[in-house]
Structure formats: structure tokens, C-alpha cells
Amino acid sequence: MSFETIEVRRALLSVADKENLVPFARFLSQGGVEILSTGGTASLLASQGIRVVAIEDVTGFPEILGGRVKTLHPKIHGGLLARRDLPEHQKELEAHGIAPIDLIVVNLYPFSETIARPGVALEEAIEQIDIGGVTLIRAAAKNYASVAVATSPERYGEIQDEMRTSGGKISLATRRRLAVEAFQHTAEYDAIIASFLETRLAQAEGEWPRVRVSSYRLGYPLRYGENPHQKAAFYQELAPGVVGLAQAKVHQGKELSFNNLYDLDAALTILRDFAEPTACIIKHTNPCGLASAETLAEAYAKALDCDPVSAFGSIIGVNRVVDLETAEKIHTTGFVEAILAPGYASGVLEMFAAKKNRRVLELPGMMRREGYPARVIKPLAGGILVQEADDADWPDYEPKVVSRRSPTAEEEKALRFAFKAAKHVKSNAIVLVQGTQTVGVGAGQMSRVDSSRLAIQKAGKRAKGSA
């Protein structure tokens, strides 16, 4: 049985993230709520003149093992897990001198922040795996019928407002919502720990884990999905060290769409394969132009020259800081949905601001390989496909010459570029290049013959002598 409202008479506060805690605790205390607390949280509240009862005074047992064991005690968990609608539970509480706990405010040791630090020792990470906090949260969330649980400072104000207007009570609807958030919080926490330990402990190279866990947090809802009738949202991966679109700074422009993000990710994936100054122009996740050159401006001009018609309404990605010369060429291209670069020289953003709807993104660490997904996931009905990321380069395939003559140095350079470019074109994929510039791209046709015809058509006279 669930109670429509519960009156908060007794609360347990034990947090790693102490943001906004003091005002909330003061509100509870002034409302006559007895506050139980642990360690650093208790010390903080006491220093602010808020009356607290130490956990050890409730349990009659001190914190032990350097703080590893604080709240794991029947006098705490009995007060959380007892069903208020069962007389036998209430009798057991009375028999053992256990008082109910109506609200817990708990968040967890900063494991994610710890493992994000370069060179963090395994032992240090292990010590940041919270045990008592997770147990408290799960106990309170399980018994949401009688207990409220807050795991985020963002919820303190909402709870405070509700208690103020209801005479110190919290509704069932709020408790249900908080319980869902609580289980999401612990699931996210465990997923990050499992992923970290999978890479640091006995996972053999090439071995597939028996259980795959991932954790994502809502970044922001999107106006719609791939089509206007589809709802969509962007979720951010929570694994530490990830460098992707979630970390990009958006300087200007309209709200990013589902298709914008898909194309921007395609640009990011392509650019990470090229060390030279490189520009790519993306339409529907395929490059309609790709080029490398001595300067970024030259690379962009060559990429645009591949297929300027398809470049209308495209995504532009570059792997160097956009200088004024390159910016001038981009600015006069026509309709461009978005631009992605590791940075922008002085004056460039001011130039781009003249076209206020154009989205301009900056991702400083976009070219480093660390943080790039080692495995690629494809969802299926009832499961997922997982494969290693395609990081193969020309030498990995040990190419053999089967023609009558070997390619010249220039021809081999062009073939290497074409090899990288074709990797990012949807199959059937045919790519024609001159040097380090695509001149014709045939993408996504059911027949290789049709893809070849399309690439040759796009290339025109440039097809002759291309690789």
C-alpha cells in the first residue's frame, strides 16, 4: 500500500556533492525535522548551526575501516525498509528500538571524476566506489511508498516548495518520480564502474564481455527526429575521457537537428583519419567533397570543387583552426547548415555571425584518438551488433600489386587517400580522386555499376587519370 502523502519527521543526509545542501537542511531543521548525518556532511551542517544527530549515535556503533562502513546497520536500513502499512513491521521496529526514516538525501562518491584524471591509480579509483550510499538509495527507492529519496541538488528546491505548501508532506507522485531517478542514478554509477573495471582488470584482449553496460544522460530534446513525425533526443555518453559532439561548444545558429548531429558526427569521424590540413563536406552522412592540402583554405576549395551542387545545405568539417582565408571561402559558399572545427582565428566568428542561423561548433580536442569509441554499436530489434571501430589504414591490408606495373609514388599517394575516403562512403562506394582531392563520389547504390556511373558522372572530365 502506498500513502498519498507522507509527513517528513526524520531525514538522513549524507552527500559527496554538498551543493545547495545547507539551505535545504536548514529548511528541514526549522520545520522540526530530525536530521541524521555522517562524517563530512554532519561536520558541515553543524558548522552552519544546524542541529544534527551523528549516525553512530543512532546505531551505537562507530564508523570503521576508514569510513568504509558507516550506515550499513539495521537501525538505519530497518528505518528505511519497513512498510508503514504492515503492523508486523511496525511491531518489529518498536521491539528493536528503530525509528522510521521518511527522507534521505544521498549522492555518491565522485567515481567518474576520479577516473577522468590522467594516470589515476586503480587503488584510488577503487576507494571511490560507494557502497553505503548506493545501499541507502536503493533501500529508500524500493520503499518509495513510505520514503522519499533525493539524489540530486536540483531536486532540493522542488521538495522544499512542496513541503512548504503541504505542511511538511511529500506526495506519492513526487516519491515515485524520485524513486525512478534514484534507480537511474545507481544504474548509471554501476555502469561507469563496470566499464572502467572491464578495461583495467582481467578482460583479455579481444574477449567480448558477457554483459555489456553503457550509460547515457539526456543532453537535450530535439525538435524532431530523422523525419518531422518522429520524436528524438540527444543523449551524452558518460564514460570518462570521451571526446565527441556532446563536448562541442556551439557559438551560434539555430537549434541542432537530429540530421545535423548525424552529419556532424560523420564529419568528425572522417577528419580523425587525416593528419594533413583537411576539409570535408557532408550530405546525409556521405562526403560529397573531401580534400587534403598544404593549407586549410586550399583543402576547403578543393573539397567544394568536387561537387558544389550537392554542397548546398551541407555540413562542413575541418581539422585545423579556421583562419580568415578559409572563413572567407566558407562564408561565400552559400547555404551551409553547420561548421565544425577545432577552433576559430580572431575575427572569424564575427564574420560568421552575419549568417545568424548557421550553426558554428568548436571542439578543441576533436583530433586526438584517445576518447574515440573503440567499438561501434548498431541497434537491432532485440539486441545490438558490436564491432571494433574501423581504424585500419593502408599498410594494415598489406596491399599487393596485381597489375602489369606498380603505381608511381604519386599514384600510390592518391590511392591511399582514396582508400581512406571510401571507408566513409556508404556502400556500394566508389570514390575517384586526383591527388588528395575527391573528384567523384558514388554512394549508397545497390549496384557497384550504378555507384561507378554516378562517380564518373560527378567527376566529368576529371575522371580521366583519376585513382
Terminal-to-terminal C-alpha distance of the chain: 73
Q: Which of 18, 89, 169, 284 is catalytic?
A: 284
Cβ atoms 271, 303 nearer than 8 A: no
User: Could you tell me where the beta strands, DSSP code E, fall in 18-141?
Assistant: 34-37, 53-54, 103-106
Q: What is the spatial distance between Cα 137 and Cα 104, in angstroms, rounded to a whole number?
A: 8
Q: Strand order in 53-54's β-sheet?
A: 53-54, 34-37, 10-14, 103-106, 148-150
Q: Which of 89, 142, 331, 413 is catalytic?
A: 142
Cβ atoms 78, 97 nearer than 8 A: no
Answer yes or no: 142 catalytic: yes
Among 323, 325, 290, smallest CA distance to 305 is for 290
Q: What is the spatial distance between Cα 366 and Cα 388, in angstroms, rounded to a whole number?
A: 20
C-alpha cell at 52: 544534527
Q: What is the spatial distance between Cα 193 and Cα 190, in angstroms, rounded to a whole number?
A: 5
Angle (CA) 176-180-184 rounded to 5° is 165
* Residues forming the active site: 142, 284
